Structure 1
């Protein structure tokens, strides 16, 4: 149905990166992604994690992705303009645990 990949951010204390999250198209919008993120956050709280970082694109195609993270209480921490290509910013989202 889906998977999530995350791990400690090198050279930091108690900070983690969420690298990938994906769900099958057949189950999108049914809470699979939210369940995966909630399970990750629970795991990181048990490990005394304090900050989760996510990188995403500013393009229109990633609008639903950014909306999903906003619904999970991740906020924009930084933006690097024209990072991926001209007109495609890198957005860094974070959530404090």
Structure 2
């Protein structure tokens, strides 16, 4: 696993993380946010997985929301967020590696995601992790921004 801040670890989110997940969502995204109710539902879903990177003693450093469709071999990374003060410290890379491992564990053959075309930091992270650009969606986000679609083969 890539280096993360001292004492940090990646684990599956629990219901006790709900308040911090919602707060991180509010800090990280100006639109296209998951609601508290959506997080609560995803925490108990068979077709979703939420991973968190935590520090010591407890602060949530980042999160990843992953979706699986029944009878599909493709996982979808819906969201990856890192606290501003934890950026550049390997938190996003550690979460992304954990997402890839979770997909492989579930038997997925590929992992897909969308990312804003103007998010250079995230694009760099995904490309360094071996994701390939496979398409573009115009006006994909609520604010009208375009998105790149990426895929990583897990075979």
The TM-score normalised by the length of structure 2 is 0.54
Alignment counterpart, residue 80 of structure 2, candidates 12, 17, 21:
21
- Aligned-residue Cα RMSD (Å) equals 1.6
- Correspondence for 2:13: none
Q: How does 1:40-79 map to 2 (within 5 A)?
A: 40-59=99-118, 62-79=119-136
Which of structure 1's runs of 4+ aligned residues deviate more than 3 A? Answer: none
Following TM superposition, by how much is the alpha carbon of 1:90 offset from its aligned partner in structure 2, in angstroms?
Answer: 2.2
The structure richer in strand per residue is 1
The TM-score normalised by the length of structure 1 is 0.83
Partners in 2 of 1:42 and 1:33 — Cα distance? 14
Of structures 1 and 2, the one scoring higher in RCO (CA 8 A, sep 6+) is 1
Larger Rg: 2
Report how many residues are paired.
Answer: 91
- Stretches of structure 1 lacking an aligned partner (at least 5 in a row): none
Following TM superposition, by how much is the alpha carbon of 1:74 offset from its aligned partner in structure 2, in angstroms?
Answer: 0.9
- Stretches of structure 2 lacking an aligned partner (at least 5 in a row): 1-60
Corresponding position: 1:95 with 2:136: no
